[in-house]
Amino acid sequence: MIGQDKIFTTLEKVMVSTKADETEAVFVGGTSGLTRYANSFIHQNVAVENTKVTFRVAIGNKIGTAACNSFVLTDLKKALRSAYEIAKQQKPNNDFKGFARPASYAELETFDQKTSKFTPKQRATKLKRVFAKGARYNYDMAGALSTEDGEIAVLNSHGVRCYQPHTTASINIIATGEDSSGYASGLSSKIEDLDIPALATTAVTKCRKSKHPKDIKPGEYEVILEPAALGELFEWLNFVAFGSKAFEENTSFLAGRIGEKVMGENVSITDDAFDPGNPGIAFDFEGVPKKKVDLVLKGVAKGVVYNLISASRAGIQSTGHGLPAEYASEGSMPSNIRLSAGDSTLDEMISQVEDGLLVTRFHYINGFLDPRVALMTGMTRDGLFRIKKGKLRGGVKNLRFTDSMMDVFSNVLGASSERKAVGSWWGSVASMYMPTMRIGKFKFTGKTDF
């Protein structure tokens, strides 16, 4: 950890050397430690320390970008000069109205000293409990446990100065038997918030209860989707529906439907970095304060998230969802999706299902089939269970689903009051907060032999 003062002081020294009309520097750095395990033993420890500084400069409305993986003054100045030379060769961007202006930023508690200092030996000690849980049933345990710390800072020539340290602890556990598997995961900014023995028990229990899976015909079923399964779906919705690019290009299912009902009235989807249950970063990679954004409110389409450029084109203010410069072509995307909770427990929802399925998670999802109706396809994985007359009746072989998320979330019959943090593509600076959800109709279109 370099610290706010040194980051600001160093980058300010560099930024004064440019002749550009406007200058921006984004610092992203930190250390990550990863312990991988398979067959119930640790086979790899990885430690990565990285620092990346990205400069953007504007000459009029021509923008240049360059980056370096160094915090040495000479390297930083070289990268800034490169950004300036690149800007001189660019075509004008008429949608560019300048870099962010100074603002106030919320202080969010996303850093934990113990997690930051967690060692490989300490991770190994945690994993002993995982292996012991699997050994009881002669299951192989596989997965990874990671702890990391990081810093994000944004400065620009208009006086923007924002900084936030963060830590992340995450684990995924797969228990594997002769013909079944079970999955569990945990994510928090604090390692001590992860109840790793309980997660291992969940994975083992799913593996044990899904052994000798039975064949089942594809078709339309009532389902209960656990947080990991919902997280996979919403990771795709972030990309194909809730960002400014998809909305502008009319590929999002929200495009042309703002103010219309697109899901059930018991469904609300919000991007909210300030949710105390799972806080995110208080600003984006352009130094704009994050805003809470209602994407779908009580089933009605409300809007999408924006960065500075896309907001300029739309004639509105940025919502604080600018991506790192290398992803600028993707527009903007949510980083802290929250799906509305209900008032049920998992057991209560299971008891209400006459004939259906419990889905632990999905994988290999393709969300590009027909984004205008959010049509997706994918496979179940690591725990698919039949529900009969309100009780789990054992495992069934994995199925392929193909369904419109507009239809799926128009048929929500209930949700849990408890929500869980689920990781996303954006790693430590973003996550999703998902309940368990009961869906009245969910279409499965193919089956497997396992």
Q: Which residue segment(s) compose the domain that 290 sits in? A: 213-447
Domain ends where: 206, 228, 253? 206
Residue 141 sits in the same domain as residue 218: no
CB contact at 8 A, 379 and 390: no
Instruction: Report d(CA 106, CA 110) in Å as an integer.
Output: 12
Residue 179 sits in the same domain as residue 265: no
List pLDDT tens digits, range 16-33: 999 999 999 999 999 999
Residue 299 sits in the same domain as residue 252: yes
Residue 269 sits in the same domain as residue 201: no
Average model confidence (pLDDT) for the chain?
A: 97
Residue 278 sits in the same domain as residue 369: yes
**C-alpha angle with apex 238: 236 to 242, nearest 5 degrees?**
135
Domain ends where: 157, 190, 206? 206
List pLDDT tens digits, range 130-163: 999 999 999 999 999 999 999 999 999 999 999 9
pLDDT at 427 (0 to 100) = 67
CATH of the domain at 177: 3.30.2290.10
Residue 225 sits in the same domain as residue 320: yes
How many domains is the chain built from? 2
Residue 246 sits in the same domain as residue 330: yes
Domain ends where: 187, 206, 225? 206
List pLDDT tens digits, range 358-395: 999 999 999 999 999 999 999 999 999 999 999 999 99
Residue 135 sits in the same domain as residue 176: yes
List pLDDT tens digits, range 299-331: 999 999 999 999 999 999 999 999 999 998 899
> CA of 353: how far to CAs of 208, 224, 356, 440, in Å?
22, 9, 6, 9
Which DSSP string do the residues of 205-229 spell out, in sequence order? Answer: HHHHHTSSPBP---EEEEEEE-HHH
Residue 202 sits in the same domain as residue 217: no
Instruction: Report d(CA 207, CA 210) in Å as an integer.
Output: 5
Residue 189 sits in the same domain as residue 331: no
List pLDDT tens digits, range 218-271: 999 999 999 999 999 999 999 999 999 999 999 999 999 999 999 999 999 999
Residue 245 sits in the same domain as residue 187: no
List pLDDT tens digits, range 405-444: 999 999 999 999 999 999 987 766 789 999 999 999 999 9
Q: Is 16 helix (H, G, I), strand (E, B) or coil?
A: coil
Residue 285 sits in the same domain as residue 155: no
